[in-house]
Amino acid sequence: MTINSVFLQLLTGLQLGAIYALIALGLTLIFGTLGVVNFAHGALYMLAAYCAVIIAGKMGFLAAIVLVPIMLFVVGIALERGLIRYFYNRPHVDQILVTFGLAIVVEEVVKWIFGANNIPFKLPAWGNGVAFLHEYIPFLEGFVVFPKWRLILVAVSLLTVFALFALLQFTRFGLIVRAGMREPEMLRFLGVDITKRFAIVFGLGALIAGIAGVFGGPITQVSPGVGMNLLVPSFLVVVIGGMGSLAGALIAALMLGMALAFTAEIASLQQIIIYLIAVVVLLGRPRGLLGKKGVME
């Protein structure tokens, strides 16, 4: 392998990992705070992608970037208040059944309205085309290009990760949520309405799915089944990273992205590689890479 192809595969891995990370981040945030396994998270991504393609078509791409995450935040809050909160004290199996059921309903409704086919998602002019990487990176030989949009996706993922980390680590809201993850009952005894904060967290998880839908939609397709297709690897990312661990999800997303990129030339291996990694990691570390004791056991 030449330095060029290794570098391109690294970038591809990074980009694949970025989209898994965005979806897995929302999943693991919701699981870590609320203890809910949200199988409807893929459907939220799909919904975001449809909203994005429609809004981008009518009002321009920038409008979609601003509006879709806000819309998904509202959808997330409504979902939590209207349905999910009744399942906090129910077994994980019940939570999986109800969220999975919801995902199927949303998928069918979208199919009914927009049809089963992929809707073409046109990139904005500023994100279209390729970046000439050899002009910026000295060690590359000759002519090396990479789709601009995929680089933007990586950058957006990084920004989202840092923003979420900063929110949880450096704000009072973050302190309350982190404390609430560990000792929800004690916070109530201290007069904190932790349930209200948790609803906002669910909204934030949905908001991140919104960001993923806007920036991922042009790459992954906009079709009714796209959410479910992404949910499986994203859920694996959460499990490999350790249920509820944000840092673990990031590492796992990167691992899976890289594994897929570097097995691209061996199709049969690429199809099973992520499951293979899941098996190997979970055999060695049943709680996942950074999973905590007592979570989902």
Partner 1 sequence: MSVTTAEAAARESAKPQDAPAYFECRDVHAYYGESYIVQGVSFEVKENEIVALLGRNGAGKTSTLRTIARASEPHVTSGEIWLDGQAIHTRKAHEAARTGIQLVPEDRRIIPGVTVEENLILAQVSEPKGWSLERIYEAFPRLAERRRQEASTMSGGEQQMLAVARALARDLKLLLLDEPYEGLAPQIVREIERIMMEVKKLGITTIIVEQNAIAALELADSAIILDMGQVAFRGSAKDVLDNPQLRQEYLAI
Among 24, 84, 187, 290, contact with partner 1 (rule: CB under 8 A): 187
- 191 lies in the binding site for partner 1 (CB under 8 A): yes
**The tokens 């950074």 sit on which residue?**
290
Q: How far apart are CA 81 and CA 72, in angstroms?
A: 14
Q: Which is nearer to partner 1, 75 or 177 (CB)?
A: 177
- 140 lies in the binding site for partner 1 (CB under 8 A): no
Among 74, 97, 192, 295, contact with partner 1 (rule: CB under 8 A): 192
- 133, 216, 261, 296 from 251: Cα distances, Å: 25, 19, 15, 20
- 8 lies in the binding site for partner 1 (CB under 8 A): no
Q: Which is nearer to partner 1, 32 or 241 (CB)?
A: 32
Among 94, 141, 183, 265, contact with partner 1 (rule: CB under 8 A): 183
Q: Count of CB atoms within 10 A of residue 97's CB? A: 14
- 185 lies in the binding site for partner 1 (CB under 8 A): yes
Question: Which of 287, 20, 79, 42 is CA-nearest to residue 201?
Answer: 79
Q: Which is nearer to partner 1, 31 or 262 (CB)?
A: 31
How many residues does this entry show for the chain?
297
Q: Which letter does DSSP use for residue 68 in this model?
A: H
Smallest distance from the beta carbon of 97 to partner 1, in angstroms? 23
Two structure tokens written together for 277: 């990694």
- 97 lies in the binding site for partner 1 (CB under 8 A): no
Q: Which is nearer to partner 1, 217 or 244 (CB)?
A: 244
- 293 lies in the binding site for partner 1 (CB under 8 A): no
With contacts defined by CB under 8 A, name the span among 41-49, 184-192, 272-280, 281-289 that binds partner 1. 184-192
- 176 lies in the binding site for partner 1 (CB under 8 A): yes
Residue 132: what are its φ and ψ, rounded to 5°?
-85, 90
Question: Which of 95, 73, 77, 78 is CA-nearest to residue 86?
Answer: 95
Q: How far apart are CA 234 and CA 153, in angstroms?
A: 16
Two structure tokens written together for 112: 């009914």
8 A C-beta contact, residue 253 and residue 157: no
Smallest distance from the beta carbon of 294 to partner 1, in angstroms? 12
Q: Which is nearer to partner 1, 203 or 233 (CB)?
A: 203
How many residues form the binding site for partner 1 (CB under 8 A)? 19
Smallest distance from the beta carbon of 195 to partner 1, in angstroms? 8
- 135 lies in the binding site for partner 1 (CB under 8 A): no
Q: Which is nearer to partner 1, 193 or 265 (CB)?
A: 193
- 167 lies in the binding site for partner 1 (CB under 8 A): no
- Residues 6 or more apart whose CB falls under 8 angstroms from that of 231 comprise 23, 39, 41, 42, 103
8 A C-beta contact, residue 241 and residue 249: yes
Among 62, 83, 141, 178, contact with partner 1 (rule: CB under 8 A): 178
Q: Which letter does DSSP use for residue 223 in this model?
A: S
Report the site for partner 1 in 193-252 (rule: CB under 8 A): 193-196
